[in-house]
Structure 1
Amino acid sequence: MVRTVLGDVPPAELGIVDAHDHLFLASALLPGQELDDMEAAQAEALAFHAQGGGTLVQWTPYGLGRRAELLAEVSRVTGVNIVAATGLHQARHYGPGFDLADPGSTGLAPAALFTAELTEGLRASAGNEVLPARAGLIKVAGGFHRLDPHARTVMAAAAEAHHATGAPIGVHLEHGSAAAEVLALLYDDLAVPAERVVLGHLNRLPDLRLHREAAERGAYLCFDGPSEANHATDWRLLDALAALVDAGHADQLLIGGDTTTAGARAATGGGPGIPYLLHTLRPRLRRELGEENADRLYTVNPARAFAWA
C-alpha cells in the first residue's frame, strides 16, 4: 500500500504521480517566498488534476510549514492523492533555536517522532496536535558533496523509522551531490534496502556517470524540475534520462516538479508550476524515451517507489 493523508491506497490507484513537490513550505532560507496559502495550494493541485494528475508527493518535512492540518482538505477538494512527509531537512532551514535532540519540543527524539508521524498521525503546525492524517515518506537531506553530523544523525533516525514501518526514504541531495555517500550510509551501514531510497535533485548535477553509479546501487532516481531555480541544468534533463534508459535503468526513474516558492506556481505565480510536468514535459518525454518508458516515470515506477515494504 501507499500511505496518503486520506488513508492507505493500493499502488495501482495512484495514477499519474508528481514524485517530488511542495504545496506548503516555509524555510528560513526563503524569506518572503513561503508556500502558505490554502487557496493557492488548491488551485495548483486542481490544475495538476485537470491535466490528468492523480497523486502528489509532498516532500516538506516536519517543522518547515508543511501545514499538515490542511493537507487532507486539499486532497478531498481537488481529488489528488497527497503523500505527506515526516523527517527533517538541513539544520540551516530551521533557523536559530533548533534542537535536533527534541525537534519542535515534541518530547520525542527524531526516530520516535518520525515513527509516530508514520503510524499515529502528523503533528500540526502549531501546538503539535496529533492529526488523523499520517505521513507516507521520510524526508532527509545531505550537504554539498558531504554528510555533516546533523545529516548522519537524521539519516540514522530515518533508517530506524524505516525498519519499524517499511516506509520509503526520500533524500534531498544538495545540488545533486553526495549520492554515493548517502547510499553508503543508508544501505551499507544502516541496512536500508537501496530500493527503499529515493534520491532527489539529480538533475541539478548532470554527471551521467554519477547517475549510473547510483542507479546500479538499486536506488530510485528522482529528476525534479524544471523550475526557475534549476534552469542552469534543466536543459540536460532529457539527456540524463535517455542515458539512464539506455543503460537499463528505466524502472528506477521518477519525475517531479519541486515547486519551492510562491512565484514558481502556475495557478497563482509565474510558473512553470506543477502542471508543466504533464502539459509540456510529458509529451517531450514520450517523444524522447518512447511512450512505455515515459509512462514508467509517471505511473509504474512511483507506484513501487512509494509503496511501503
Structure 2
Amino acid sequence: MVSAATVRTVLGDVPGDALGVCDAHDHLFIRSARLPGQELADVASAREELRAFHALGGRTVVQWTPYGLGRAAGELAGLSRATGVHLVAATGLHQAEHYAPGAVEAVLDGLAELFVEELTHGIGGTGPRAGLIKVAGGFHGLDAHARRTMAAAAEAHHRTGAPIAVHLELGTGALDVLDLLCGEHGVAPRSVILGHLNRFPDPAVHREAAAAGAFLAFDGPSRANHATDWRLPDALAALVDAGYAGQLLLGGDTTTAQARSVNGGPGMPYLLRRLRPRLELAVGADVVRRMLTTNPAGALTVAWRAG
C-alpha cells in the first residue's frame, strides 16, 4: 500500500509545505566512539538549541543520527511539541569506527529489515518512525562496511520509498556513492542526499553529482581540518548559475556539546543568523529561501510504502 506523499516527522506525517525553514542536516543527540567525552546527550540543552533556532524562524530540523549512536528517539516527540519545531529522525548505520567494538555485529545480517522496521513501525518498536536512512562513505572510497550498509539502505528504500542521506567523509566519494546506490542498486538519484559537500569544494564533482539528479547538502560551519567556509558562496553560486538551484540543501551538523550555541558555539542558529545573510549576498534571498524551504521539502517528501 502506498500513502500520500508526505514528510515523516516524529509527530507523524506532514505535507512538505508544512516544514517551513529547514536545517536539513543536524544532530540533537549523538554519541560516537570517535568523539569520546563530547556527546550530545543533554535534553535541556537540546530544547534550548531548538528554541534558539525557532526564534530565528527555523521550523524543521533533520537529525541524521542513525542506529546505535545515542539518538534519544524517545525524547524527540516531546522536544518537537515543546519547541514548535518539526523533527525528522533517521535510521541507518554510520561508519564502523563510530561504534564501540561489538556494538553492531548483531544487526549486520538484518540491516535492511532493521531500517524498514524503524521507518514503518518505529525506532526501538515504540519510538517515533524514522523519516530517512543515513549511511556513510569513506575518505575517497567505499569499504566493505559502506557497501554493506548502502546495499541495505537501497533495499529499505525500494521497500518504503525513504530517502537516503549519505555522510561523505570530508566531502569525498560523491560519485562513487552515486555509482553504487543508483547504478548498482537502482535508487533514483532524487532519493539521495549527499552530505558535507562544502568540505570538498570541487566544482566539477559538485556539478556532476547535481547533473545526476541528487540533492546536494552543504552542512555545517568549517572545522579546523576543513576550513572551507569562504568558498561556500562561490560554490553555491556556480551551481545556481548552472541551473541546479532546486537541488541544494543547507544544514548545521552540530556534533559536539561545545559546538552548541547555548555553550558558546555556532550551533543550529548559525545557519540562519550568519550563513543565510552571507549566501543571500551571493545568490539572492529568493534562492536561499528555496534552499531552506522548497528544496528540503522536495528531498524529504515521499509516497510512503508499508515495507
The aligned counterpart of 1:219 is 214
**Pairing partner for 1:161 from 153, 156, 164:** 156
Per-residue deviation, 1:100: 4.0
Q: Check if 1:122 corresponds to 2:116.
A: no
Write the letter of the residue equivalent to 2:290. R
2:23/2:250 contact within 8 Å kept:
yes
Q: Check if 1:275 corresponds to 2:280.
A: no
Q: Check if 1:78 corresponds to 2:68.
A: no
Alignment of 1:119-158 (within 5 A): 119-123=120-124, 130-158=125-153
TM-score using structure 1 length: 0.94
Tell me which stretches of 4 or more aligned residues in structure 1 moved more than 3 Å.
98-101, 227-231
Aligned-partner SS, 1:63: coil
* Unmatched runs of 5 consecutive residues or more in structure 1: 124-129
- How has the CA–CA distance of structure 1 residues 101 and 150 changed in structure 2, closer, same or farther, with 3 Å as cutoff? farther
Distance 1:30 1:145 in 2: 22
Among all aligned residue pairs of Structure 1 and Structure 2, give the percentage whose two residues are the same amino acid.
Answer: 64
The aligned counterpart of 2:3 is none
Distance 2:178 2:217 in 1: 15
The aligned counterpart of 1:113 is 114
Alignment of 1:7-86 (within 5 A): 7-86=12-91
- How has the CA–CA distance of structure 1 residues 136 and 230 changed in structure 2, closer, same or farther, with 3 Å as cutoff? farther
Moved more, 227-236 or 148-157: 227-236
TM-score using structure 2 length: 0.95
1:227/1:272 contact within 8 Å kept:
no
The aligned counterpart of 1:173 is 168
Write the letter of the residue equivalent to 1:70. E
1:72/1:133 contact within 8 Å kept:
yes
Aligned-partner SS, 2:261: coil
Write the letter of the residue equivalent to 1:244. L
The aligned counterpart of 1:295 is 289
2:135/2:149 contact within 8 Å kept:
yes
Indicate the RMSD between aligned Cα atoms, in angstroms: 1.2
Write the letter of the residue equivalent to 1:55. T
Write the letter of the residue equivalent to 1:29. R
Name the structure, 1 or 2, with higher relative contact order (CA <8 Å, separation 6+): 2
1:228/1:264 contact within 8 Å kept:
no
Distance 1:132 1:233 in 2: 37
2:68/2:103 contact within 8 Å kept:
no
Kindly provide the CA deviation profile for residues 227-258 of structure 1, in whole angstroms up to 9, marking residues without a partner as x: 43565111111111111111111000000000
Distance 1:219 1:192 in 2: 10
* Unmatched runs of 5 consecutive residues or more in structure 2: 1-5
Aligned length: 298
